[in-house]
Each structure stands twice: as structure tokens, then as C-alpha cells.
Amino acid sequence: MKSSNILVIGGGISGISASLDLAEQGYRVILVEKSPSVGGRMAQLDKTFPTLDCSICILAPKMVEVARHPNIELLTYSEVSEVSGKVGDFKVKVIKKARYVDVDKCTGCEECSEKCPMRKIPNEFEEGMGDRRAIYIPFPQAVPRKATVDPEKCLWLTKNACKLCLDVCTADAIDFEQKDEIIEYGIASIIVATGFDLIDPSILARYHYGEYKNIITGMQFERLLSASGPTGGEIIRISDKKHAKNLAFIACVGSRNVDICAYCSKFCCMYMVKESVVAREHAADVSATIFFNDTRTIGKNQEEFIERAKEEYGVKYNRGIPGDIREDPITHDLIVKYANLDTGEVEEKTFDLVILANAVIPRKDAKELAKILGIEINDLGFFKTANSLEDLKSTIPGIFITGSCQSPDDIANSVAKASGAAALAAQYAIPIPEEEKVLELPPLRYISPFDEPKIGVFVCECGTNIGGYMNIEEIVEYVKTLPNVVFAMYNMYSCSEKTQEIIKEKIVEENLNRVIVAACTPRTHEPLFQNTLLEVGLNPYLFNFVSIRELDSWVHMNDMAKATDKAKDLIRMGVARARNLRAEYKIKGEVVREALVIGGGISGMSAALEIAKHGLKVHLVEKEDKLGGQLNLIYKINFDRIDSREFISKVIKEVNEDKKNINVYLSSNVIDVKGSIGKFTVTIEDSDKKRTEVNVGAIIVSTGASEYKPTDWYNYGKDPRVFTQLELSEKLRNNELKDGETLVFIHCVGSRQETGRTYCSLICCSESIRHALYVKENYPNSNIFVLYRDIRIGTEEEQYYWKARENINYLRFSEYPELDFNDDNITVKVHDMLTQTNLHIKADKVVLSAPLIPNEGNKRLAELLKVPLDEHGFFFEAHIKLRPIDFATDGIFLCGTAHGPKGIADSISQGRAAASHALIPLITGEVENEPIISHVNPALCIGCNRCAEVCSFGAIGVPLDGSKMISEVNPLLCKGCGDCSAECPADAITMSHFSDEQIEPMIIEAVKGDFVDERPRIVAFLCNWCSYAGADTCGVSRFQYPTNVRPIRVMCSGRLPKSFILQAFLNGADGVFIGGCHIGDCHYIAGNYDTLRRVNEIKNIITKLGIDTERLRLEWISASEGKIFAEVMKEFINKVKEIGPLTPEVKA
Amino acid sequence: MIITKLKDIDEIYEMIKPYSKILIAGCDGCCQPPRSINEAKVLGQMLELKSKMNGKKLTWKAMTVLRQCDDRIAGSTVRPYLDEYEAIVSLACGLGVSMLNRIFEDTLTFPAQDSMFGASENHGDNRYEQYCDTCGECLLGETAGICPVASCAKGLHNGPCGGQVDGFCEVGGYKYPCAWIQIYERLKKFNRLDLFNKFRPPKDYRLMTSPGHLELIQEYTNAIEEEEVEK
């Protein structure tokens, strides 16, 4: 029988994405990560380009999800040691290395690290710039957040001395008897996503890395920028604590170097821009200079990002890599000597800090892993693929490669490729059978909203982590006096197996219908307790988590009385909310197990084939009279010169042969779409106006793009001697060129413009090199001049560029060349930047590299599907980094060049990736949503449609088909941010689980405190994903701030209506704080824009009410900005203290 | 829809200063932005806070009316609360405020808003535009649906005038498009420049007199009666 198990090796963003896809599709994933935590390189990054999203903010939810997912077995600190068998039936051995810590008992308090005497171990996560101990948690957001003992450094393990950690661990989690464990699995298929290493830059002696203290790598600089990094986000030279203002970035350190790394590392150009921009955002007086060869962009909006960096952030670009760096012996500043290729001069400049973009190299254990897996390695040392179009398949069937272990790639491409690999890997496995999935759970007890709440409160001591900083007994006694609390107790560890049993017992014994646990943080532990409730038949939404560790004991370690009072307040607020909690039920929808693919090019066909392989029906709609799209026009693909028509006809044959599963509609268009994920009703019309209606569960958009016909340029279309690269390809196919002619290739004709088509088309450089080489081979006497701006090619293509340069003339221009059209030739006049001379080239033919442009039909299709287009007319994905193949609207996916210009291999991967996402609802046959969604009360709705305007997911609004004039929620699309509920002028929308009736009592209780004098009293509304997470990071890092704040967690800051803020002031708050995600980082796309608008509105008004606007503070705080959270709190509390209490005397 | 703007909170506060119990009535009708019960609640909170800051206690209730400009609807929804409150603050347009004052002779209703104009809502560019001036003599049939009375700064019946440059109007500093150029372009698109060339007599301003009265239902029954009398 086929196995359900799929092995994923590597827990970086690629491995995480692939695992989540497969787990969601219903397969069992064994995710093996070598280090103690998942997260990989992305967890180390401060921001991501080109949107400057906070990296950990967008990654952390996914890290938590892989750890929680019932279909994923997460093995961290583990390695694959043996693989045998073949596809469908691999036998895999995994070594689970001894952590010397019982992860079930460890609470992640880090008390042990605190006491560990091994202090000066360079921290790998901080790239050696900070310290860690021999027992450690690698970083604050680590998943799992469990300690690990470093066996090479631990005094006990190396010298049989110490064991201090054993004494301090009250959870009894440390176990030096632990041994490595070998686990065997039967595995259907394997995904390798082991990522990359970075070269030690000291290999290039001229940069003196390791010798001069103020030369660091890009990754080290990333940690300097991070708010949770070694300098708390300040750009300081570690060596002398001096603020670094003048920064130099040097590209291609080791890469594009024939002696070191004969390839391009691909993403360094972009991260240098990003780091320059972020550095500038940190301090306005920072100036950054980037030394580079070619600027290379690898994805959407990146060209524009570079231009913005130059214009808005003053990032300076110097074409030319420095030849030498010297150090000033006194100041330790760095004197960089370089050629400025724009002017031809040799210059010298002094910098405070030099940042090297060191080459991406294969992981040092790549060879070893390849041996274990039996797969091959390519010339560059990365895992080898079958050919240039199959960058996901290794040389062994059933083993797939994704992410940078195959070839350096950025996050967006890695995510798309990971999903593509997931689709391929899934073919060989079967979804987990129903009978293996069902957990024995008792039926849920019915709790009516009218039942008297009976609340049980369990307060956690967390060893001494909570108990050591507040008076737990006093708290429990107090809690017992609160209304509706029928039971309260404290436990040493609430998360322990033993306490779970006690909680279950008490629920039954005391007939509890609400449960509160006051402990660490809901972000990691809420699901655990919700499951406990489920086990005794209590609805999990009747559980309320109160955080008294991250938000209290850990941030108020020096004032027991106040910390105790704050805990009482927090629990009282929790009780107030719990009283109004309602039983909620997961929302399920049935799915029509068929898919629609719009566009029959290579990406659309790739998607269709992957879905069909699961025996599911696909409707493939193509507007032309044949399948294949652009590939019908191309002659040879990539540098291995795969014949395009031959290749595409094989794929078309495969599509046409699967008559059972694939319905092809040629010369047809989609003319109407109704419905949503699970069931879309789509009308397809063919050229005879014959209409077919199909019902599908998911839609994939793969409408492609086509080459721009540059009629405004160089007499194109008028003079037959001027044609495009695609037209050249046709001439090469038909052998139409004459030998001995002079050809001039002009790049960027119509792309990378100042206005209009500002984007880089990404594929033309490689196409031009390919054609130049081909011409030179087949017409050896021809003379070719390539006029270019930057050469942008893929990692493996670098060698071909060098080869091309051997006998083809490459001339770089900054001003577009001018052409004189004579009868016997065309004179091309160009200023060559390298030699700084004006050249006149007499050409016989001029070939233009024109960009890919979006289809004209996109606009109409976008309207039908209600999905957005970007400014150029390409489809606009849900998130540029982490959701490149999804639309914000569930059930609709995109792939290929409809998303933006990209190569054929990427289009194929994306097609498979889109299939992988579409397969999630199609395989499982149902869609499920959390019940945290909006509800519209039809009696109150006034049909104003304001809700639809703020919803980024198309989940709510008045159906404008004339059927009803009131708003409706699609419960399967709603993501639960609550923005609509805050926007509704008619009070018609209720946000379940975060409703007004649950939050308003919390506001009232938050300001009530009648204990130690606690003025000023501040109510803080924090969004779950960034600010609350930031407050958690602050807690984990033990940054202290005053106790005055009473936080209220909401899913999105957009949930906050104006009335909450006013209510807080009315009830006596001296200050109101609102924390959201940074603009652009919103977990719900744009909720924080609405927050900003509402807060500004209130700010304008409250001055007139006689309230100082400084009492209301809105801050964007990301998940990594723990220190900033503490600082903002301190500063805000002091400010409000200064203004004084808001206690006007009220006369009756 | 009627475009309204919330008055300065100080101004509203001054109006209700003499009272300690007020009813705040939202309007679910065509008032834009929509001013339903939540808006009434927020206004109540603001007024209470303002009173509190001035050392005064204010009791209020927020409620909403389907349409305040309909006497029966407004009357029946608001009446039940009247006994408990000393004054009403209305979040409707001027029509609603006037209506409440007329229905409830013994209670004063105060406006919380300034009524701006009747307009259409353009979600695309996020603007309210006054496309119609309710002039009583509709020309839209001759102008391809673009009203020169409302959209031309000078309300010209025949245009454009010499004040347009590159399609923009001199009134407002060449910021707003010339309505007559737009009319021309749109008529041209439909090949109906014959309508453009047609002469239109000056506007009959008698039809625009204020206050406006119209006995809607009666008008027709009267006509029938008159006909019958003639027979």
C-alpha cells in the first residue's frame, strides 16, 4: 500500500512552505531540521525586499503553524542518516540528536541559560556578534522554544563538572542521560530544502575580512539592523560602539569570480539595496554607497525599488568593485579605493563600516547529504536537476529539490518552488486515511448563551518564572472573589500533563463552562488548553488565555506588589471577557472537486497536469486555437537548447491524452464567474458563442504575457532590418540570417523606463546571450555588438555570459543609442561607458530586446474574478514574498507570466505551485475556516457597503446583483480581522470571539484597578501578529517597563472602532495606546491603514474635548521589536505621567 | 444622497450645554457618510467626555432612524424615548433636523452636522460629486448625461466659454475639468454632435425657487378630478 509519509529535509522558509502545503492537502509530513529551531535564514533577516516587511513577523506565524499542525511531525535538532529503497517506498532513518533537555517538560524560561557559566560562546544566530551559553534557545521566536545543550561546550558533558542548570530548572527538564535516538520511517517521497551557506570572505585577501574589525558581512549587518539583534537595532560598530554613518556595500565578494564561485549569488544586489534603505530609515544621517558590477533584480517591483532607493533614500551606486581596502590605524575607519566606471576615474573614500555581500555557497554538508540520498551534485556544488526546465526534480525519481540548495534564490521564488515541489512529491503518496485521523473526542456539551457562566481560573507559577515575581496565593484568593468565578487554583506548570488532568477533572467536577488559564502567552499555548477543553467535551472557544508571564512577571521583575496587582487586573479583565464568550464552531464548506485553469500556456498546462494526476477534473481554457502559448513562438529554450516546439508538443500531448481528467476548451474565454472557494460557477464561451457552464472548487489564472512590439522605437515595424529577439528566434529556426553580417542587439527597449513600463523584464538578457552565442556558432563570420545597461542572468547562466564575451562585443550604455537608417546599413551611435568613447557601428540588422507585457484581457478577467492587477496590468498576488501564487481571495491562484515576467522553468514551478495550493481544497473536499469571523445582523444593516470597502478579502459586502440590499459575509473567506465590525456605522457587524460585548467589559475592568496607586492607568490595544508579538518578544527578552499598562489583545488593530478609544477615556484611562503592524506589514493586508485613519480622526477630536492628544498614542511595533516595545511603553507612560491624571471632578 | 459633515464638537457641545439628558438620533437614510447608531454612540461618548472634562454629567442615549425625513417613520421611532430626554441631537441632514423639530413641537432638535449638497458617491476616486443641482429643468438628455448647471462653474446652458484651457476651468485655478469640453467629447464619441450644436435658451430660474413645494400624490388626483369636471 502507498504511504502517506513525505519527508521534508530542512526547516527554512522553503521546507516550511512545502510542509504546510502537504499537511494541508492531507499528507503526513516528517520535517527534519538540523538546528534546534525551524526558521532558517529568513528568521535571521531584519526586513525583506522590496516591501520592507518585517521578516520574522511574516515568518513566525508559519513557524508556529508547522509545530502545531496535526499532520506534521517536526523533528528539530535531527538529521537524516540513511535512505534506502525507491520512490513510493523509501526507508529513511533519522537521528534525533540528544538535546539533553526533555522538550515536554521545558517551558522555555531560559533560567538555565541565565545560570550557565559558559558565557562567551559566539552566537550562530547573531552571526558571531553576540554570545550564547552552552544551554540555550537560539533566538526569542524559536520554534520549538525549548532549550538545547551544546555538547561541545557544556562543562558537564566535556569535563564532568558544573550541572548548574540541573539545579535551577524547576521543571526538571534537563536530562544528561538522554541519548541520540534513531527513528525509522517508511516514506513515499522526499523534498530537500536544506538551504545555503555563505562563503567566508577572508578568502578574498584584498578585503581584509577578519583582519579589520569594521568589515562585516551582509548577514551580520542584517542582525545589526534587527531590533532583536546584538545592538538592539542600532547601527553601531561592534568594535568600538561608534555609530556607523557612512556605509559601503561591496557586491560580488567571491561570486562571479572564476577562481572562487563561478556564478552569481542572485539575491545580494537586492539585499544590499534593502539594507541601505533600512539603514537610512534607522537614521537619516546614514549614507550608503553600493559598489557593484551589474545591478541584478530577480523579481517583481525590484527594479522600481532600486530606483526609489536612489531617489528617495539617496543610496549611491558606484559601478566598479573596489580593488583595495585599508584601515586607518587610529580611527579604524576604512579607506576604500575603487574605479568609478561611470567616469573612468580612480577614487578613494573613507567609510565607517564596510559590508561585504559574500557569495552564497552550497552547504558544507551538501555532498554528504547527496550521498545519503543518492542524488547528484552539479558543477557548482548545488544539487543537480534533470535539465534546465526541471529545477525541482533531482536526478533520482521521487526526490525533489527546492530553495537555495538547488540554486540561490530569493524568498518569493523559494516559496513558489517549495509549493511546486510539494505538488510533485504528493503524487507518490496517499492522503492520510480517514480512520487514522479521527481522534476519540467526547461530544461537545451544549452551552447556551443564557447559561450562568461558571468560570474556572488556573493560575500558573511557571516554576519561579511567574511565582517568583508575584504573590500567586494572593492572586488566587482575589480571583475567587470575582463574579462568576466558581473555582480557582494555582499550579506549578499549567502546561504539564499533570495539570491538564487536573483542569479536565475540575471542569467536570465543578461543571465549569468557561476556563481561564493565566500563564505565558496565547500565541504559543492557547491551542494546548483548547484541546484540553475538547477532551472533556467543552467548546474550545470558551477558553480564555491571560498572559501574566510575557506581559507581567518577565517585564516587571523588580516590583512584586505592582506585578501582583497587574496580574489581578489582567485576570479580572480575562474574567470579564470570559463571561461573554460564546461557543463557536468551525466553519466547513463542501468543495466541488474540479478546477478551472485559465490560460493554456506552459504554466497553465503544468498546473492542470498536476491536478489531473490526482484523478481530479480540470477545465483548461485557452483563448487561442492551440495550447502552448508563447512556447509556440520560441525556437530554443535555455542554454541546454531544448527545442521549444518539441518540448511543448510533448506537454500538449500529455494534456490531450488525459481525456478523463482534462477538458480542453480552445478558442474560448471565461465570460462570467460567480461564487467563491468551494464552488465557483464559471461560464466559458467559445468562438461560436457557444456557452458552457462548469462548477469548480478552485481557479488558477495563468493567462501569460507576450512580447511588447516596440513600434515607438527605432523604426520598428517600418524597417525590416529592425526586429525583436522573439522575431530573431523565428529567423534562427528558419535559417534566415546571412553569415558575415553585423548585428547590433539593443537591450531594455521599452523596459526599465522612467515612467510607464518601469519594470525589468528579467528574461531578455539571458535570451540575448543565448541568441548571440547561437548566431556566432551558426554564422561564424558575423559580428555582434550587444548594447546593454546591466546584464541580469541566472546563477548557472553566468558561465555562458563569460563565454559570450569572448568574441562578442559588449558595450554598456546609459543613454539609449541613436540610429541612422541608411540604404546599405544602419549606423548605431552609442556612448560606451567602459572606454568613455562615442562609437559608430555600421549594422546590417538591429535586434531589440523588448519586455514581456501583460495581456489586454487581464483587466476584464480581474473584474470577473474580483482580484487586483498591479500598475502595469500584471495580476497582483496576496503577498509579494510569502504568497506569490495566491490571491488575497481564497480559492483563486495565479502562476506564470500572468504574475510578472519570468523564465520558463520558473513558470513551470509556479504552475505546479498553484496546483499545489488548489489541491488543498480539492483533495480534502472541504474548506474549513476558524469561526473567528464577522456576522451581519440583517435587521440593523443599512446597506451602505462600508464593510466591503475595508475588507481586503472580498469576504463581506452588499451583493450587488440586486438580490438583497444588505451586507452578507462569506464565512469561508472571512479572515477574522474585524475591520468591518469597527467600520460599520450601524452596529450591524459582530466579530465573533472578539466582539464588542467581549472587549468592552475588558476596557471597563482595565481602568478600574483599586490596588496600589497605579496612576497613570493606560489601556493598550495590541494587534495579535505584530505588537502583541512584539510585547511577547519584549517579555522573553526580559526588557523591563513600568507596570501601568493593561493590554488588550485583538486580532488586528483595524478591529478598533473609535468608540473603544473614547470608552477607555470615559471610564478613566489616563492614556490609550494602540499598537499595530508596520504599514505594509499588516497580516490582513491593509487593516492598519484603517487604524491610522480612525486614530487620526479621534486625535483631531479629543483636543477639542479637552484631552491632550499625547494621551493617545499609535505605534507600529513589529514582532522582533521587543526592545522598542519596552522603550515606547516607558516613554509613553512617562509622558502621560507628566501630563497628569485625567480625573476631572464631575458635578452631578 | 445628501453629503453631510460633522460639526465641530465644540459647536455641538455649546448647543446641548443647557441639557443634562440628550437623545442622539442617527439616520440610516441617504446621509453620507452613513450616520447610523454607531456614529450616534461615538458622538454620545464624545459629548459625555467633553462634559466630564468640564465637570458636568451628561446622560445620553444613541438610537437611529430609518429615514429622519419621513414624518411617520421618524415620529414613530423617536417618540418612545422623548419622555426621558430633554433635547435631541440629530445626525441627519437639515431635512431630518427640521422634520424632528416639526413633529415634536415640545422638544428642540439640534443639528450635529452641516448639510453640504446632494451628490453621488464615486468609490473609484473616493469622492462625492455634485452631479445634479435639482434645477427643475433637466438638460441631461442633450448633454450626454453631464450636467452643465451643476458641473459648469458658470452654469452655462451653451458652452464652453473662453475660460477653459486644455479642458480645465479657470474657476478654481484650472484644477477642475471643463464640463462643456467633457460634454463635447462624450457627444462626439456617440456621434451626436448635433445635440452640441443645438441652441439652448437661458435657464428659467423660476423653476429653481426656494422653498420648493410639491404635492406629490395630490397632483395627479387633482388632474383627474379637473378632467372629469371639464367633461
What is the DSSP secondary-structure string of A682-716?
A: EEEEETT--EEEEEESEEEE---EEE---TTSTTT
Q: Is A395 left (phi over 0), alpha (psi -120 to 50) or beta?
A: alpha
Query: Domain coordinates of chain A in residue numbers?
Result: 1-97+180-195+363-437, 98-179, 197-361, 451-586, 591-704+855-924, 707-851, 933-990, 994-1148
Q: Please give the Cα distance from A782 to A739 (Å, whole number).
A: 6
Q: Please give the Cα distance from A286 to A805 (Å, whole number).
A: 38
Q: Please give the Cα distance from B157 to B136 (Å, whole number).
A: 14
Q: Within the 986-1005 window of chain A, which residues sit less than 8 Å (CB to CB) from chain B?
A: 986-987
Q: Which grid coordinates are listed for B75?
A: 415620529
Task: Please give, rounded to a whole number of angstroms, the shortest distance from the CA of B162 to a CA of chain A.
Answer: 33
Could you tell me if A560 lies within 8 Å of chain B, comparing CB atoms? Answer: no
DSSP H or E run through A1120: none
**Could you check whether A933-990 and A994-1148 share the same CATH topology?**
no
- CATH no., domain A197-361: 3.50.50.60
Could you tell me if B122 lies within 8 Å of chain A, comparing CB atoms? Answer: no
Peptide bond into A1016 cis (omega under 30): yes
Task: Please give, rounded to a whole number of angstroms, the shortest distance from the CA of B119 to a CA of chain A.
Answer: 15
Could you tell me if A1057 lies within 8 Å of chain B, comparing CB atoms? Answer: yes
Say which of B9, B33, B35 has its CB closest to residue A1105: B9
Strand partners, A348: A337
Q: Are A1132 and A1114 in contact (CB under 8 A)?
A: no
Q: Which grid coordinates are listed for A802?
A: 563569460
Q: Within the 155-214 window of chain B, which residues sit less than 8 Å (CB to CB) from chain A?
A: none
Could you tell me if B124 lies within 8 Å of chain A, comparing CB atoms? Answer: no
Predicted pLDDT of residue A279: 94
Q: Which residues of B touch A1058 (CB under 8 A)?
A: 42
Most B CBs within 10 Å: which of A863, A1105, A1107, A1111, as the mutation test of the B interface?
Answer: A1105
Q: Which residues of B touch A942 (CB under 8 A)?
A: 28, 34, 36
Q: Which residues of A touch B54 (CB under 8 A)?
A: 1106, 1144
Q: Which residues of A touch B46 (CB under 8 A)?
A: 1062, 1101, 1105
Whole-Å CA distances, A920 to A71, A203, A419, A892, B162: 13, 47, 11, 12, 64
Say which of A942, A1062, A1107 has its CB closest to residue B42: A1062
Give the torsion sign (CA, A791, A795, A796, A798): positive
Could you tell me if A1141 lies within 8 Å of chain B, comparing CB atoms? Answer: no
Predicted pLDDT of residue B134: 85
Predicted pLDDT of residue A621: 97
Percent of chain A with pLDDT over 70: 99
Could you tell me if B145 lies within 8 Å of chain A, comparing CB atoms? Answer: no
Q: Which residues of B touch A1062 (CB under 8 A)?
A: 42, 45-46, 49
Assigned architecture for domain A707-851 = 3-Layer(bba) Sandwich (3.50)
Task: Please give, rounded to a whole number of angstroms, the shortest distance from the CA of A623 to a CA of chain B.
Answer: 30
Task: Please give, rounded to a whole number of angstroms, the shortest distance from the CA of B44 to a CA of chain A.
Answer: 10
Q: Within the 1082-1101 window of chain A, which residues sit less than 8 Å (CB to CB) from chain B?
A: 1101
Say which of A984, A1102, A1148 has its CB closest to residue B57: A1148
CATH 3.55.50.30 fits A1-97+180-195+363-437, yes or no: no
Predicted pLDDT of residue A1147: 53
Q: Which residues of A touch B42 (CB under 8 A)?
A: 1057-1059, 1062
Say which of B9, B33, B55 has its CB closest to residue A1104: B9
Q: Please give the Cα distance from A931 to A113 (Å, whole number).
A: 40
Interface touch B48/A1066, C-beta < 8 Å: yes
CA angle, corner A874, sides to A873 and A878, nearest 5? 120
Interface touch A984/B9, C-beta < 8 Å: no
DSSP code, position A527:
H
Fold classification of A98-179 (topology level): Alpha-Beta Plaits (3.30.70)
Residue position matching grid coordinates 577578519: A210
Helix, strand or coil, per DSSP, at residue A190: strand
Q: Which CATH class is domain A994-1148?
A: alpha beta
Q: Which residues of A touch B34 (CB under 8 A)?
A: 942, 944, 946, 985-986
Q: Which CATH class is domain A933-990?
A: alpha beta
Strand partners, A122: A131
Q: Please give the Cα distance from A846 to A859 (Å, whole number).
A: 33
Q: Which residues of B touch A986 (CB under 8 A)?
A: 28, 34, 36-38, 64
Q: Which residues of B touch A985 (CB under 8 A)?
A: 26, 33-39
Could you tell me if A949 lies within 8 Å of chain B, comparing CB atoms? Answer: yes
Per-position b or e across A150-172, b if 16+ CB within 10 A of its CB: beebbbbbeeeebebbeebbbbe
Q: Are A273 and A49 in contact (CB under 8 A)?
A: yes
Interface touch B53/A1106, C-beta < 8 Å: yes
Q: Within the 22-81 window of chain B, which residues sit less than 8 Å (CB to CB) from chain A?
A: 26, 28, 33-39, 41-42, 45-46, 48-50, 52-57, 64
Say which of B34, B49, B54 has its CB closest to residue A946: B34
Could you tell me if A1063 lies within 8 Å of chain B, comparing CB atoms? Answer: yes
Fold classification of A451-586 (topology level): Rossmann fold (3.40.50)
Give all strands (DSSP E) within A352-480, no chain letters: 353-358, 360-362, 399-401, 455-460
SS3 track for B95-138? HHHHHHHHHCCCCEEEECEEEEEECEEECCCCEEECCCCCCCCC
Going by their DSSP bridges, the two strands A287-292 and A148-149 should be labelled as: unpaired
Domains of chain B: 2-118 (3.40.50.2300), 136-231 (no CATH)
pLDDT tens by residue, A993-1048 = 999 999 999 999 998 876 656 689 999 999 998 899 999 989 988 899 999 999 99
Could you tell me if A1112 lies within 8 Å of chain B, comparing CB atoms? Answer: no
Going by their DSSP bridges, the two strands A642-643 and A636-637 should be labelled as: antiparallel
Say which of B38, B50, B56 has its CB closest to residue A987: B38
CB pairs under 8 A between A and B: 77
Which of 3.40.50.150, 3.50.50.60, 3.30.70.270, 3.90.1150.10 is the CATH number of A591-704+855-924?
Answer: 3.50.50.60
DSSP A819-869: EEE-SS-EEEEEEETTTTEEEEEEESEEEE---EEE-TTHHHHHHHHT--B
Q: Which residues of B touch A1102 (CB under 8 A)?
A: 49
Residue of B nearest to A949 (CA): B123
Interface touch A942/B36, C-beta < 8 Å: yes
- Averages of pLDDT over runs of 10 residues in chain A (1148 residues) are 91 97 95 96 93 84 89 96 95 96 90 92 93 93 92 94 91 94 96 96 93 95 91 90 95 93 94 95 92 92 92 92 93 94 88 96 96 95 90 94 95 95 95 79 90 96 89 96 96 86 94 95 87 93 96 93 94 96 93 96 97 96 95 93 95 95 96 91 95 96 96 94 96 94 96 93 95 96 96 92 94 94 95 92 96 93 90 91 91 96 95 96 91 94 91 90 87 93 95 96 88 80 93 90 95 96 93 92 90 93 91 92 93 93 66
In 3D space, the residue among B154, B148, B145 whose CA is nearest the CA of residue B172 turns out to be B154
Q: Please give the Cα distance from A665 to A622 (Å, whole number).
A: 6
Q: Which grid coordinates are listed for B94?
A: 437639515
Interface touch B38/A1059, C-beta < 8 Å: yes
In 3D space, the residue among A413, A453, A429, A422 whose CA is nearest the CA of residue A22 turns out to be A422
Q: Which grid coordinates are listed for B105?
A: 413641537
Whole-Å CA distances, A61 to A17, A58, A375, A1036: 12, 7, 33, 17
Strand partners, A186: A91
Residue of B nearest to A987 (CA): B38
Predicted pLDDT of residue A1058: 95
Say which of A944, A949, A1066 has its CB closest to residue B49: A1066
Give every residue of chain B whose pLDDT is below 70, as ranges. Answer: 124-125, 214-225, 231
> What pTM value is reported for the model?
0.84
SS3 track for A194-234? CCEEECCHHHCHHHCECCECCEEEHHHHHHHHCCCCCCCCC
Per-position b or e across A664-683, b if 16+ CB within 10 A of its CB: bbeebbbeebebbbbbbebe
